[in-house]
Each structure stands twice: as structure tokens, then as C-alpha cells.
Amino acid sequence: MIATPPASLRRSGVSQVALGVLVAAALVALFGGLLSPHDPNAFSGIVGMQNMPPSWAHPFGTDGLSRDVLSRVIAGARISLGVGSVAVVITVLVGTTWGALAGSSDAWLDDLLMRVVDAMLVIPRVLLLLVLASAGPMSPWKLSVALGLTAWPPMSRVVRAQVRAIRQRDWVLAARALGASRTRLLVRHILPGVMPHIAVAATLSFAAVIPLEAGLSFLGLGVRPPTASWGNIMRDGADRMLDTWWMLLFPALAIMATVAAFNAVGERWRAAVDPQQVVR
């Protein structure tokens, strides 16, 4: 019997650590206001407090405007993870709808819908995001929508493949023989079997969204100051990266830890859902 994803995750030490990292990141994003030692946008003191290295008073140091970097990294977690969450929800909704429609439709409509997906996949996602971001200021909400609407084609392929496989299973054929409508077959009998694969794809999509948001914000095309995100915190220290290394190091570590955790959980979950996948 194939272990369910949660059971598989519990048996893996790496996955347990990854889940712990994700839970910690979620708690920081949700309750960051209670955890921040300082106001992330408040000046600690203009004179003599700029670009201070890590200390007991400021464990992550201060930036060029005397703001506490630890507080800004905590505040950035809410923005970066919030943007990622909305983007992944959009990706799942659009990708699942498109893929389910293609996988359950007649051959001509399936072919038409997948040619649209192929056309979108021809355009590099990063290039498309750069074009969208350069068109005007990007609020966190607009950035979430842009990230979500450029990420759904791979999701739709996953859903389509699973729908086409499951619709040939015995219980689906039996329900069809009993007169179940196409919509009922899809909603009641097919999509529940696709959900584990959607969850895996969503987890891995989250791992891809976080560095994309950080990269756009680092380039000044994403979340704009004074709102803190992990990407624009790194941008603040980029001009003096050798002197103010802490402004790059700590948000970069937050990005790396979160992305690695999502990838670890996603890969382990995928191995549980599809035993043919090999986890190394």
C-alpha cells in the first residue's frame, strides 16, 4: 500500500526539518508584528546608527536609514510569503480549471486548449514578468496576479495528464455507464484523485515564486520601498555589499531556507504520490 503524503513526510527527517522551517516562516509572516523588536520603518537614530553591523541591540544590523534589518526581514516575510500565497492560489485555480477542461473534453477542444498552453510556454516566464513589471508600478497585489498568471501553464499540463489517466479507471467508466454527466464525473470522481498531484505542483510552484518575487523586487520592479520584502532589503545593501554584508546575507538566507524547504516537502510528497519518482 502506498503511503499517503503526510505519512511519508513524517517518516523523513529532512522533510520534518523542512516542515518545521515552513511552519516557522508562516508564523513569522502571520505574527511578525508581535515578533519584531522594532518598527521596520522607524529610524533608530539618524546620527551614528546607519549601516551598523550586527549587535545585541540589532542582531541583523541596521541599514542606511538606521532601520533595524531583523525587523525588516520579519516584515518582509509577510510580503514575500503573502505575494507567493496569492500567486500560487491563482496558479492552482487557473491551471486546474484549464487542465481539467482540456483533459475531459473532446479531442479537438483538448488540442486547441493545449496549443494555447504551448504558445504561452514558448515565452520565457522571466521575460514576460520583466515586461509586465516595467509597464508601471507593481503593488504587492499586482505582483501576485502577474506571478500567478504566468505560472499556470505547467500546472494545467499536470492536471490534464492526470484527468486523462483517471477518466479511464473502472469506477469512472461505471459512473459514466450509469448516466453521470460529464460535470459530475469530473467533480465527484476525477478531481479528487487529481488533488494530490495538484498539491505537489502547488508546493513546487511556491518554491519558484519566492525567488522570482525577490528578483523583481531586487531590480526595483517588484515591491517598492518603504514596504519591506526580502528582495528589496537585499537591494538596499547591494551598493555596499562588502561593507554592509548583513543586508544581503540575512534576507538571502531567509529566501534560501524557505525555497529549500518547499522543494524538500514537494519532492518527498511527489515521491509518495508517484512511487516511480526517485528521491535522492
Give the residue, 209 or 8, on which the prediction is more confident.
Answer: 209
- Cell 514576460 belongs to which residue? 128
Q: For the segment 157-214, what is each residue's pLDDT rounded down to a tens digit?
A: 999 999 888 888 877 778 778 777 777 877 887 888 889 899 999 999 999 999 999 9
Measured distance CA(223)–CA(143) in Å, rounded: 8
Measured distance CA(104)–CA(185) in Å, rounded: 9
pTM of the model: 0.85
At 2 the pLDDT is 42
Sign for the CA dihedral angle at 176, 180, 181, 185 comes to: negative
**Mean pLDDT, rounded, for 252-258:** 94
Q: For the segment 106-163, what is each residue's pLDDT rounded down to a tens digit?
A: 889 989 999 999 998 988 888 888 888 877 778 889 899 999 999 999 999 999 999 8
Measured distance CA(255)–CA(80) in Å, rounded: 9
Look up residue 83 and give its three cell numbers. 505575494
Question: Euclidean distance between the first and final Cα of the chain, in Å?
Answer: 21
Q: Report H helices in 224-273.
A: 230-238, 246-273
CATH number of 5-47+58-273: 1.10.3720.10
Q: Are 184 and 238 in contact (CB under 8 A)?
A: no
Measured distance CA(230)–CA(185) in Å, rounded: 44
Measured distance CA(160)–CA(104) in Å, rounded: 8
Residue among 150, 124, 120, 119 nearest 213 (CA)? 150
At 222 the pLDDT is 86
Q: Are 100 and 165 in contact (CB under 8 A)?
A: no
Q: For the segment 42-100, what is each residue's pLDDT rounded down to a tens digit?
A: 776 655 678 888 889 888 988 888 888 999 999 999 999 999 999 999 999 999 999 99
Q: Residue 226: is its pLDDT beyond 90?
A: no
Measured distance CA(200)–CA(189) in Å, rounded: 20
Average pLDDT, the chain: 85
